[in-house]
Structure 1
């Protein structure tokens, strides 16, 4: 038998819907818009049925099948709180040995922070063990199954993979896509790992029930961002070495205008002259600006944007999609060179991305 409680908490009453009156009272349009867009959702489940737990842990795009090892009794209690559509924090307790099989890749990165009990996850290359004092990072599509050894309790942070790459894109001021390749383990006993665990548990406590963070959407959103940036800046991953370098000087306006123009017309046959005209400078000035502030040329930058777009299309396409169609759509006419460059940049062939 399963018990479930679902609560949706939009933090805005009808009496506060007038933007103008809110500006008069608080002087903050930004805060009003943040409150309007934020939705907190809390769900609590408890029970003993593996099929019901399967339903609880599944998402529309990534179904999960749960079984009890040896048909022995199990029990669970899970509490999930979501901040908008992209971040969820969970506090889950399990009894018994529980087998979990993911039947389709997830589009979320999950960070498990064990408080008691052990677990193992089937990684792409190896088994990943989750034990108290050591957190586990599982990027989207990186784990096909798990085994939980009760009594087990963990906090879990679920973040859309796209939100992770979006944060990196803002940090680098260039488009980032694909896997970040986090090292799967975090030391939770000291330093950033300990702070991260405290941050996630505080998020869950502050959002559960009638927690104070439900009355402060800006604080809740900032804490979610802080958790993501803490992971990106302190946990080893593909971009760690680059993040450790001094930040480049801010790009001048004409470089930003050029990049905006490229992104708006990425699927069109634009030329270097077109880009220079949009940036309101000469071709030579544009080239010098990209060399100085982006360490590349304007057309190479456009090429990188299109490669990232092709990667995104392959991630979102089904297995029947022709790789040649995607490559041609983004201006890559030589499939051999496209595949070689794609593998160098994303660590896998286009066909491997398509099968995920």
Structure 2
């Protein structure tokens, strides 16, 4: 199915409501802006030098993972007007593109994949005829997987290196995996009949990225897995999460873990590389950020800080900025 750019309509892929497929085509830059934008991250498309353009964009979504097959003709500039929460992987088939992301532009050509970290890409230029597959993954999903792998909270950009080889090794495997997912889900494909298979393939794509593509945590992932934390550390962590909004003390945490304070501190140093109180502070800070980025009604920063036990607003703001790279008020404005 393809619809004109003046009336883009999403529709469920097949009969399974967990999959969505959309198809657009047209020549209007303003309509292209709407197609590529989200409510949180608008994109402005323009034809360079008032030249004529054409585009065809098909999207297939499975949960928090989306695959795009897009073709463009003409010189097109794209400007992202607010940061995206997605990590975007481009798998070029034809033509050139240049992405603005940080100090150095990222060139995307056939045989060479490109990874744009969440919030990094500010614009792009598509030069002539261009076609690519795109894989869009929520940064939160990547961080959730890293959190599970490390057994500690991971937030922020994973810091993937922007370029990778598509002709061999992990890059070739990723291209084949994404292409198979797209074919299997689009147009009533057979994968729609097996949500478990789709989930496994999506997980495979995430693990492939984390385990074989260089990023900020690659060296740590290459180390031998640490010994499982002893029961008293797990009991302490469970107690913290169960009473995260309450003013619990180190002594109460140790009592819940059925060990002395000294043994508890030693266990956290050995198995979490931190202290019990620092760990509690960390999970409360992450919970506060989750409240601030939650869509819908926006609470006051002071209310969020107090809810999670931060009574000194100025200190909370300073520690929040150190932890997440921005002030709580800036997060709230997204």
The TM-score normalised by the length of structure 1 is: 0.82
The Cα offsets for residues 92-136 of structure 1, whole Å up to 9 and x where unpaired, read as 100001111122222211111111111111113332211111111
1:50 and 2:29 matched = yes
- Aligned counterpart, 2:100: 122
Once structures 1 and 2 are overlaid, which stretch shifts more, 160-169 or 262-271? Answer: 262-271
The TM-score normalised by the length of structure 2 is: 0.87
Give 1:345 shift: 4.8
- Check conservation: 1:139, 1:179, Cα contact below 8 A: yes
The Cα offsets for residues 160-190 of structure 1, whole Å up to 9 and x where unpaired, read as 1111111111111111112212211122122
Decide whether aligned partners of structure 1 residues 187 and 337 sit closer, same or farther in structure 2, where only a CA change above 3 A counts: farther
1:68 and 2:72 matched = no
Hey, what's the Cα distance between the residues in 1 that align with 2:271 and 2:191?
40
Matches within 5 A, 1:330-341: 330-331=308-309
Which of 270, 276, 294 is residue 272 of structure 2 equivalent to? 294
Which of 78, 83, 89 is residue 100 of structure 1 equivalent to? 78
Give 1:4 shift: 4.9
- Aligned counterpart, 2:217: 239
Number of positions where the alignment pairs a residue of Structure 1 with one of Structure 2 = 328
Which of 102, 108, 111 is residue 89 of structure 2 equivalent to? 111
The Cα offsets for residues 232-290 of structure 1, whole Å up to 9 and x where unpaired, read as 11222221221111111222333222212222332322111222233344434433332
Across the aligned residues of Structure 1 and Structure 2, the Cα RMSD in angstroms comes to 2.8
Which of 165, 179, 195 is residue 201 of structure 1 equivalent to? 179
Decide whether aligned partners of structure 1 residues 207 and 317 sit closer, same or farther in structure 2, where only a CA change above 3 A counts: closer
Hey, what's the Cα distance between the residues in 1 that align with 2:186 and 2:140?
25
- Check conservation: 2:13, 2:187, Cα contact below 8 A: no
Give 1:9 shift: 3.9
Hey, what's the Cα distance between the residues in 1 that align with 2:326 and 2:80?
23
- Aligned counterpart, 2:133: 155
- Aligned counterpart, 1:217: 195
Give 1:216 shift: 0.8
Hey, what's the Cα distance between the residues in 1 that align with 2:318 and 2:104?
26
Tell me the SS of whatever aligns to 1:209: helix
- Aligned counterpart, 1:77: 56
- Check conservation: 2:88, 2:116, Cα contact below 8 A: yes
Hey, what's the Cα distance between the residues in 2 that align with 1:310 and 1:181?
23
Give 1:65 shift: 1.5
Q: Unaligned 5+ residue runs, structure 1?
A: 13-37
Decide whether aligned partners of structure 1 residues 352 and 134 sit closer, same or farther in structure 2, where only a CA change above 3 A counts: farther
Hey, what's the Cα distance between the residues in 2 that align with 1:193 and 1:129?
16
1:145 and 2:145 matched = no
Tell me the SS of whatever aligns to 1:242: helix
Q: Unaligned 5+ residue runs, structure 2?
A: none
Decide whether aligned partners of structure 1 residues 10 and 272 sit closer, same or farther in structure 2, where only a CA change above 3 A counts: farther
Tell me the SS of whatever aligns to 1:291: helix
1:350 and 2:327 matched = yes
1:39 and 2:43 matched = no
1:183 and 2:161 matched = yes
Hey, what's the Cα distance between the residues in 2 that align with 1:101 and 1:306?
35
1:272 and 2:276 matched = no
- Check conservation: 2:81, 2:122, Cα contact below 8 A: yes
1:7 and 2:11 matched = yes
Decide whether aligned partners of structure 1 residues 237 and 332 sit closer, same or farther in structure 2, where only a CA change above 3 A counts: farther
